[in-house]
Amino acid sequence: MADSHNAIRRRLLLGGTALCASLALSRRAASADFSRPIEIGIRPSLPTAMLMAGHQSLRLHFEQTFKRPVALSTAPDFSQFQRRVLRGDFDFIIIGPGPGWQAHLDRGYPIIAVSQQMVRVYILVAKDGPIKNIADLSGKTLATIGPLTVSSQIAQTILREHKLQPGVDVQIHHMKNPFNVAQLVAQGDVAAASFPNISFPSLPAAIAGKLRILYEAEPIPGIFFMVRPASDMPSPKAFQAALFNFAKETPAGRAYIKDFSHEALTLPDLDALRVLDRFLPEIRQTMTKS
C-alpha cells in the first residue's frame, strides 16, 4: 500500500513539475514581443545606401514570409559591426567568414547558409602603374579594410611571405569598406589595395577600369548567413527555409544572389569551416582592443 501511495506521489510531483515548466514557457512566450521588427545586420562592405538598396528584396521577402516588420542595419566599419554582432543587436546576420566564425564559436550563433562563392583576396594596383610584383610594394602603402577582416589578415600574410614586414616595409592604411580601398588606388593615393573578390563586381566601372589584379590569394569559405536565436524571433530552421526559398524560388532572390556574387547558397560544413580557426586569435585580439 505504501508503495502505491509513493508511486502516486511521484506521479503528482512529476506532473506538477511539468505543469510549472509549461506555465513558465507560456509566460515567456506571452511576454515575448512578436511585433518587434526582425533586424537584419549587413556587413559594411559597401557604402550604406548601396547596402540598403541591395538588400531590400531580402527584407521584403522576410516581411512577407514572417508577417512582421523587418529592418536593415549595418555599422560605420567592420569592428563596430562585429561589436554589434557579439552584443546581440541583430537577429539575422550577413557577415564575413572570419568574424562569422568567431560569432559561431564565441556566441553560439548558428550558421544557416554559406555563400558558394569562395572568398579570394586580390592585391590590386593601378592598371597602368609601375607596380609589377609584390616586391615592388617596398616603401609603398597598401590600403585594406579593417584589421578584423580576413582580407586584411591575408594581405599581411602575403607581404610576409614575400619578405616584406607590414607596417615597416609596407605601410598599412585601413579604410571602412572595400569601395573606399579600391577608390584610393584608382585615385593614385596608395600603391596597392587588398580587396575581396566578392566585392569586385559591385565596383563602378569608372573605378574598376583603372585597376589591375597583381596577386590572387588562395580561396577561403565565403560569406556567412547566421541567426541569433531568440524567443520572439523565427527559429533558425524557419530563417533557413525562408532564405533558401528566396534564393532558389523567387526572381528577386536569384537576382540578389547574382548581384552579390554568391553563385548560390549552400548548407554549412562545420568541419570544412575549421580552416578559419587560424584567423581567430587575431580577430579576438582585435576585438579586445577595439
Name the grid cell of 265: 547558397
Residue appearing with cell numbers 549587413: 42
- pTM score, whole prediction: 0.76
CA 181 to CA 189: how far, in whole Å?
10
First to last CA, the chain: 69
What top-level class would CATH report for the domain 38-118+221-289? alpha beta
Quote the DSSP letter at residue 172: E
The pLDDT assigned to 279 comes to 87
- Calculate the alpha carbon distances from 197 to 117, 139, 140, 205, 235 in Å: 9, 26, 23, 15, 32
The pLDDT assigned to 148 comes to 82
Position 186, amino acid: A
CATH 3.40.190.10 placement within the chain: 38-118+221-289, 121-216
Residue appearing with cell numbers 583576396: 121
Cα dihedral 134/136/141/145 (nearest 10): -20
Cβ(142)–Cβ(202) below 8 Å: no
Find, among 270, 261, 272, 16, the residue nearest to 119 by Cα.
261
Mean pLDDT per segment of 10 residues, for the chain of length 290 residues?
41 40 42 77 92 97 97 94 96 96 97 95 95 97 89 90 95 91 96 92 92 94 96 97 98 96 95 92 83
The pLDDT assigned to 20 comes to 44
Which numeric CATH code is attached to 121-216? 3.40.190.10
Cβ(150)–Cβ(121) below 8 Å: yes
- DSSP for 46-102, please give it: S-HHHHHHHTHHHHHHHHHHHTS-EEEE--SSHHHHHHHHHHT--SEEEE-HHHHHH
The pLDDT assigned to 34 comes to 66
